[in-house]
Amino acid sequence: MNKRRHLASAMATAVVLLSQPSAHAVTTTFFDGTQTATLVGSGPTFDTISSEGYLFTYTLDKYSAVVRLTPVTWPDGVMAQSVIAGPTPSPAQITIQRVDGNVFDIPTFTAKLLASTGGAGGAIEVMPKIGGEDALAYPVAFNATGYYGQSFTYGMPGTSLLSGADSYTFSLYVDFALTGLTLVDASAPIPEPETYAMLLVGLGLVGVAVRRRKPSEA
């Protein structure tokens, strides 16, 4: 009976340890040459690609007869064009979401201007969404006033509101590209190495105790 109680105690300890939340989430950093992208969707004014468990949907001015350069291509980044032709003109937009629909955070990103905003000024607006609905009353604005080829990098605490949503839409009235991106999937915690170590030590001690009790129980 004692042996059974010890084994039951060990199993209960294992369950408790493995259920402890992790301090580390899964972090994916874009963009590098090892990451591949697959086209998974296309429409009159957009394409959608998939990479590393994330979906990137970006606007393309497919109706326009104007030939526009594509200076940023995968794996250097994701480019969006402002839609100036066709029935539904729109700013350049990039929407990011997970394939599995889970929430995630964006602690850092780098955007590159593919047209000038130096005269009128400009801001990249980012709207977090949950279940298709805006998560904030207003989008988070990041200064993007500059000239063609200029890059802007943003991180914490400025990006603190880019968290806990299942999609994020980046918008700018001229063409731009995301050339750096850190995405954190906090919905998929990884057990800490210390958790496994504690589990192994606990099971080992229970095993020793059981072996020592065998002679007295015989």
Q: Delimit the domains of the chain by residue range.
A: 26-185
Q: Quick one: pLDDT at residue 149? A: 95
Whether the model clears a pTM of 0.95, i.e. scores above it, the answer is: no
Q: Quick one: pLDDT at residue 211? A: 55
Q: Quick one: pLDDT at residue 207? A: 52
Q: Which portions of the chain are predicted below pLDDT 70?
A: 1-24, 188-218
CATH number for the region 26-185 comes to: 2.60.120
Q: Quick one: pLDDT at residue 189? A: 55
Q: Quick one: pLDDT at residue 130? A: 97
Strands (E), the chain: 26-30, 38-43, 46-51, 54-59, 78-80, 92-98, 105-113, 123-130, 133-134, 140-143, 151-154, 167-172, 176-185
